[in-house]
């Protein structure tokens, strides 16, 4: 996504919070809190949701603003929704562990496990997956049953692109082996991906190297630095300092990590250390989407930047009022409005399926006609 600066105007953000709250309540009531996590971990559904809320469909700001609206929407309703949101952008992201611990105590959750999940997901995307994007936003969405999802975003100020990373606890087998539910970015470039499935040998080698004598490792690194290496090599060493690496390796040598996850969580282990160890390991060991087109949803209420038309505040307010009234009546036993919304959804999907079949038939007829000619 293009990296855009600025923030959502207050008049829009207030509406986004109300609409986000209404959608959240409906999804949780009909499908449960875990389903909301699944949707937020789907990068295309997330993008579609941002468009429905009226934010720029092609802007990096959709990530931070949607997550901010969700946190504000859930605030004070955590117990009734069975859902809580921690973290945010910049300084707010650093408060995530403390916020998780607070909700863990309130809902009798394993706070240590959840904080570890938050820290490790952030560490993977900043140190184990080195793709040129600096993480600056981290949001942890949890349920009172202990499941969680993470949405975080990195930016590259030189290329002016942003990249979004999605995590989901459901089905997650290993934090360091293909752990993502989805990653949003067309600008891939050359990355050091230590969480790729094919990097298993490299991960084990890095853990082994971190546990050996620092003098041996630093000596190996010094030898490698003396070699003439082509500039296009995906792992650069210009900014790696053996003296700094030695300080970090002393701690890993004295307290050897059990696995790659433990190594990442070690004090002082950052991108440069992982990069250096990965290179040494290489030398020594040889070592279906929810929606197809999110842009479609920008037609719901318009977009902040005026595309495809300026946000229609009256239509926005009527939509929110309809949902809020439906939620209030549903709590009193009258689900007519929400049932009507579900019927409209079913009708829309049926019409869409017919249109797709018609387009396929038309395309086939055109193809057959062309062949006949």
Per-residue pLDDT band for 120 (boundaries 50, 70, 90) equals very high
Q: Are 118 and 167 in contact (CB under 8 A)?
A: no
This prediction's pTM: 0.76
Instruction: Tell me the pLDDT tens digit for each residue of 148-165.
Output: 999 999 988 888 888 999
Q: What are the C-alpha distances in Å from 58 to residues 2, 104, 155, 298, 325?
A: 7, 35, 15, 10, 31
Average pLDDT of the chain is 80
Tallying the residues shown for the chain, one arrives at 373
The pLDDT, as a whole number, for residue 10 is 87
pLDDT at 337 over 80: no
Closest by CA position to 43, among listed 130, 168, 169, 164 = 164
More confident residue, 197 or 247: 197
pLDDT at 234 over 60: no
The pLDDT, as a whole number, for residue 296 is 61
Gyration radius of the chain over CA positions = 24
Per-residue pLDDT band for 340 (boundaries 50, 70, 90) equals low
Q: Are 138 and 167 in contact (CB under 8 A)?
A: no
Sign, CA dihedral 37-41-42-45, equals positive
Output the six-digit token pair for 298. 């920008």
DSSP letter assigned to residue 157? T
Per-residue pLDDT band for 188 (boundaries 50, 70, 90) equals low
More confident residue, 302 or 27: 27
The pLDDT, as a whole number, for residue 148 is 98
**Which range has the worst mean pLDDT, 109-118, 131-140, 152-161?**
152-161
Closest by CA position to 139, among listed 46, 205, 4 = 46
| DSSP H or E stretch at residue 143 | strand 134-143
pLDDT at 230 over 60: no
Residue ranges per structural domain of the chain = 10-190, 198-285
More confident residue, 358 or 290: 358
More confident residue, 223 or 92: 92
The pLDDT, as a whole number, for residue 235 is 41
User: For the residues 334-346, what does the mean pLDDT come to?
Assistant: 67
pLDDT at 185 over 50: yes
Q: Are 202 and 287 in contact (CB under 8 A)?
A: yes
The pLDDT, as a whole number, for residue 288 is 38
């Amino acid at each position: 996504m293009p990296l855009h600066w600025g923030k959502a105007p207050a008049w829009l953000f207030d509406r986004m919070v109300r609409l986000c709250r209404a959608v959240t309540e409906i999804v949780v009531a009909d499908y449960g809190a875990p389903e909301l996590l699944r949707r937020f971990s789907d990068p295309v559904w997330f993008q579609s949701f941002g468009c429905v809320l009226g934010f720029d469909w092609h802007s990096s700001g959709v990530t931070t603003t949607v997550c901010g609206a969700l946190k504000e929407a859930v605030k004070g309703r955590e117990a009734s929704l069975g859902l809580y949101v921690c973290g945010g952008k910049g300084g707010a992201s650093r408060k995530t562990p403390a916020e998780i611990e607070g909700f863990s105590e309130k809902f009798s959750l394993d706070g240590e496990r959840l904080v570890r999940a938050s820290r490790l997901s952030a560490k993977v995307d900043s140190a184990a997956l080195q793709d040129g994007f600096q993480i600056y936003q981290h949001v942890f969405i949890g349920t009172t049953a202990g499941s969680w999802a993470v949405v975080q975003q990195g930016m590259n100020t030189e290329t002016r692109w942003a990249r979004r990373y999605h995590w989901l606890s459901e089905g997650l087998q290993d934090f360091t082996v293909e752990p993502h539910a989805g990653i949003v970015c067309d600008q891939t470039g050359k990355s050091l991906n230590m969480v790729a499935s094919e990097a298993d040998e490299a991960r084990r080698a890095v853990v082994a190297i971190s546990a050996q004598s620092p003098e041996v490792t630093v000596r190996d690194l010094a030898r490698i630095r003396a070699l003439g290496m082509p500039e296009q090599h995906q792992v650069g060493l210009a900014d790696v300092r053996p003296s700094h690496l030695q300080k970090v390796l002393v701690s890993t040598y004295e307290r050897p990590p059990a696995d790659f996850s433990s190594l990442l969580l070690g004090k002082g282990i950052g991108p440069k250390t992982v990069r250096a160890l990965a290179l040494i390991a290489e030398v020594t060991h040889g070592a279906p989407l929810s929606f197809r087109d999110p842009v479609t949803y920008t037609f719901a209420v318009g977009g902040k930047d005026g595309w495809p038309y300026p946000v229609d505040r009256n239509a926005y307010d009527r939509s929110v009022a309809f949902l809020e009234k439906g939620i209030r009546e549903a709590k009193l036993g009258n689900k007519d409005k929400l049932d009507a919304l579900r019927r409209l959804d079913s009708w829309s999907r049926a019409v869409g399926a017919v249109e797709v079949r018609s387009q396929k038939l038309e395309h086939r007829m055109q193809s057959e006609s062309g062949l006949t000619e």
